Amino acid sequence: MQSILDKLGEWLKAMLVDGITGNLSGMFDTVNTKVGEIAGEVGATPLAWNSGVFNLIRNLSETVIIPIAGIILTFVMCYELIQIIIEKNNLHDIDTWIFFKWIFKTFVAVLLVTNTWNIVMGVFDVAQHVVSQSAGVIISNTNIDLATAIPDMEAQLNAMELGPLLGLWFQSMIVGLTMNALSICIFLVIYGRMIEIYLVTSIGPIPFATMGNREWSSTGQNYLKSLLALGFQAFLIMICVGIYAILIQNISSATDISAAIWGCMGYTVLLCFTLFKTGSMAKSIFGAH
């Protein structure tokens, strides 16, 4: 009877060891894939990311938004002319040069509205250049594979009792499910940022139409700050990934399998949390509302 129980225990132990090894081997594959795609995704310009969506947004901006921006620009510049005139002692002291000033400001305002798309894309081209230059410096190996990172892992598992093995198997299952959820979070941050870029760029001519008046120009200035924040958010994301790559290198020196599993999950949770925070960080840096 004892021999049967021993055989059963050995069979369960071998099954748990195989299950834990299998779970650890593929546990971080999805996260590794998503993290590896970050550099390419955030470093792409709106045109390079998806040309179909880019052309759709550009057509909407040029055919729908620019006419509305033209109406707003007309109102703003008429309001600006009234302000310039009444500033001079209630119409008692009017110089002809103020009309030339107004014509020049109107010309610049029209130029900004008609070239909004080029200006906006220029901001993201600069940000993309910064990300491309930093990619070779910041990004290193971000892949996690505990099955090969921990030396003699299988020997450690075989030396463990049945109870701790069962607990470790449950841990690997829970962490594996968590990793799938975290990979979805990374997807939401990266793709959500690009969708936000398309949404913000689509209405660009309207805030640019307010730049000609000092009272209304805060709208356009805040819009420019938001563009800079969105563009350089990619740089902050790259720094987050670089810190993550350095932190997970400590896993290779881990001797406790359970600590290594939870350490990897902790680093990945930290990465996801900081990725979500990069948007607000960038806006606070550039003073965008």
Model confidence pLDDT, tens digit, residues 226-263: 988 988 888 888 888 877 777 777 665 556 677 777 77
* pLDDT reading at 149 higher than 80: no
Q: Would you place residue 198 in the very low, low, confident or very high pLDDT band (cuts 50, 70, 90)?
A: very high
Q: Would you place residue 272 in the very low, low, confident or very high pLDDT band (cuts 50, 70, 90)?
A: confident
Helix extents (H) in 27-159 = 29-42, 46-49, 51-60, 66-87, 97-114, 116-138, 146-149, 153-159
Section 4-20 average pLDDT: 64
Rounded to an integer, what distance in angstroms lies between the CA atom of residue 213 and that of residue 244? 46
Q: How much is the pLDDT for 145?
A: 61
Q: How much is the pLDDT for 10?
A: 66
Q: Would you place residue 174 in the very low, low, confident or very high pLDDT band (cuts 50, 70, 90)?
A: confident
Rounded to an integer, what distance in angstroms lies between the CA atom of residue 31 and that of residue 179? 7
Specify the 3-state DSSP secondary structure of 95. Answer: coil
Specify the 3-state DSSP secondary structure of 256. Answer: coil
**Nearest CA to 255 among 149, 133, 138?**
149
Per-residue pLDDT of 121-146, as tens digits, reads: 888 888 888 887 776 666 555 666 65
Q: Is the dihedral of CA 259, 261, 265, 267 positive or negative?
A: positive
Rounded to an integer, what distance in angstroms lies between the CA atom of residue 80 and that of residue 82? 5
What percent of the chain stands above pLDDT 90?
3
Q: How much is the pLDDT for 59?
A: 92
C-alpha angle with apex 130: 127 to 134, nearest 5 degrees?
A: 140
Q: Compute the mean pLDDT over every residue in the chain, rounded to the nearest whole number.
A: 77
Rounded to an integer, what distance in angstroms lies between the CA atom of residue 41 and that of residue 79? 43
Per-residue pLDDT of 74-118, as tens digits, reads: 888 888 888 777 776 555 566 667 778 788 888 888 888 888 888
Q: Would you place residue 188 in the very low, low, confident or very high pLDDT band (cuts 50, 70, 90)?
A: confident
pTM: 0.79
Section 3-8 average pLDDT: 59
**Nearest CA to 134 among 31, 43, 226?**
43
Q: How much is the pLDDT for 252?
A: 56
